[in-house]
Amino acid sequence: MMKIKLQQMDVKSAFLNGYLTEEVYVEQPKGFEDPRKPDCVYRLTKALYGLKQAPRAWYERLTNFLCSKGFTRGGVYKTLFIKKRDHELTLAQIYVDDIIFGSTSDYAQKQFVKHMQEEFEMSMIKQKVDGIFISQEKYARNLVKKFGLEDAKGARTPMSTTDRVSKDENGRSVDPTLYRSMIGSLLYLTTSGPDICYSVGLCARFQSSPKELHVKSVKRIIRYVKNTINLGIWYAVNSSNVLAGYSDADWAGDADDRKSTSGGCFYLGTNLVSWYSKKQNSISLSTAEAEYIAAGSCCAQLLWMKQMLADYGVPSGVLTVYCDNTSAINISKNPVQHSRMKHIDIRHHFIRELVEGGKVILEYLSTENQLADMFTKSLDAKRFEFLRGALGLCCI
């Protein structure tokens, strides 16, 4: 495993740095009209927040800057920038106005920092000799304070196992703007909080017509965040390059349309690097079908990650997917098209080709040790805390 020291910077007013190539005009701001030319408009030369062109203008500005320093864009992910020189590797990953970068060489790292400090203000993440600890403690505290729950009682789990969240069409409506603000704030927190991924995703389904029941569920998630504000993910240095995924599904778990929920988490060696919880597009007729579709989604994600690692210069071998349903595993290994599986969308059957070609191995894992169980349903406190620790969440 490459030992790369990471740094993070946040670009203030990022979209204001972009240059426009199109002709864009705006009206004169109210209260600042030119009395000599009240009917004239301004032509913009730089982007403003609110313009459709602003995100791309910022991306092009940043791309041109990095390319001028010898970087090239990644083959799979166009917001990944790579610079290779002899045995040195420098990487920069972009997410809107956040940039995480690192290098295998201290000299290259310092050079990159020098160049970036001339353009942007930087802030550091918590880097240690034996690994990296990533958390959003400050953001979580501000989130709890933003919605006035500083004095609320903390919760051991983000969602109750007894309260079933549904549309509740007869319930009392609430302010949708406030509800969407709560959901949006929590979604950002899921980037380092896999423990709230399922519950936030479930509550996000009701943004068009939120009810009091939904606000109650969201507030419970925030109370859980308050109770676990110091949690984060530890990434150890000495880990292997083996990619593995855990796949699970909750059959017909949605109370409104009876669709199933797919969940998965992915490891590079012993480090948790990705996770998801998503409702399936079609209704599954059996548990095996739901698990089979979930395994297919898991394989697709693993293949994408393998291509990403290739851009980083990290080789990875055969991919392993752990599933707790033997029927789904047997279907993936049997090339014969069973009549009971013909109705499944053909795009889900590519997993058979991967298994036959030896690119993916599906292995059985008991439900008790299925880490992806957390991403498909609400769990009791004992089970939830066990899986949370098994995933690698901890306090430092």
The mean per-residue pLDDT over the stretch 347-370 comes to 89
- Look at residues 293, 271, 292 and name the one whose alpha carbon lies nearest to residue 280: 293
Other Cβ atoms within 10 Å of 117 Cβ, number: 11
Examine the domain organization and report whether 244 and 353 are in the same domain: yes
Strand ranges inside 52-138, DSSP E: 72-73, 80-85, 88-95, 98-103, 122-123, 126-128, 131-134
Give the CATH number, domain containing residue 48.
Answer: 3.30.70
Given a cut of 90, whether residue 334 has pLDDT beyond it is no
Q: Quick check: is 315 in a domain? A: yes
Q: Quick check: is 385 in a domain? A: no
Last residue of a domain, one of 92, 124, 156: 124
Q: Quick check: is 373 in a domain? A: no
**Range scoring the smallest mean pLDDT among 66-75, 131-140, 154-163:** 131-140
Domain count, the chain: 3
Examine the domain organization and report whether 82 and 188 are in the same domain: no
Examine the domain organization and report whether 248 and 361 are in the same domain: yes
Q: Quick check: is 380 in a domain? A: no
pLDDT digits (tens, 9 = 90+) for 55-82: 888 899 889 989 999 999 988 888 999 9
Give the CATH number, domain containing residue 259.
Answer: 3.30.420.10
Last residue of a domain, one of 61, 92, 124: 124
Rounded-to-integer distance, Cα 322 and Cα 313, Å: 26
Q: Quick check: is 376 in a domain? A: no
Given a cut of 90, whether residue 396 has pLDDT beyond it is no
Examine the domain organization and report whether 119 and 156 are in the same domain: no
Examine the domain organization and report whether 247 and 350 are in the same domain: yes
Last residue of a domain, one of 178, 201, 227: 227
> What is the value of pTM for the model shown?
0.77
pLDDT digits (tens, 9 = 90+) for 266-304: 999 999 999 999 999 989 989 999 999 999 999 999 999
Other Cβ atoms within 10 Å of 230 Cβ, number: 11
Q: How confident is the model at residue 337 (pLDDT cuts 50, 70, 90)?
A: low
Q: Quick check: is 302 in a domain? A: yes
pLDDT of residue 281: 92
Examine the domain organization and report whether 53 and 82 are in the same domain: yes
Examine the domain organization and report whether 245 and 355 are in the same domain: yes
Examine the domain organization and report whether 10 and 69 are in the same domain: yes
Examine the domain organization and report whether 323 and 296 are in the same domain: yes
Phi then psi dihedrals of residue 264, to 5 deg:
-160, 155
Handedness of CA 64, 68, 69, 70 (dihedral sign): positive
Rounded-to-integer distance, Cα 364 and Cα 330, Å: 10
Provide the domain limits for residue 332. Answer: 239-365
Q: Quick check: is 255 in a domain? A: yes
Examine the domain organization and report whether 14 and 119 are in the same domain: yes
Given a cut of 60, whether residue 126 has pLDDT beyond it is no
Examine the domain organization and report whether 248 and 356 are in the same domain: yes
Examine the domain organization and report whether 98 and 11 are in the same domain: yes
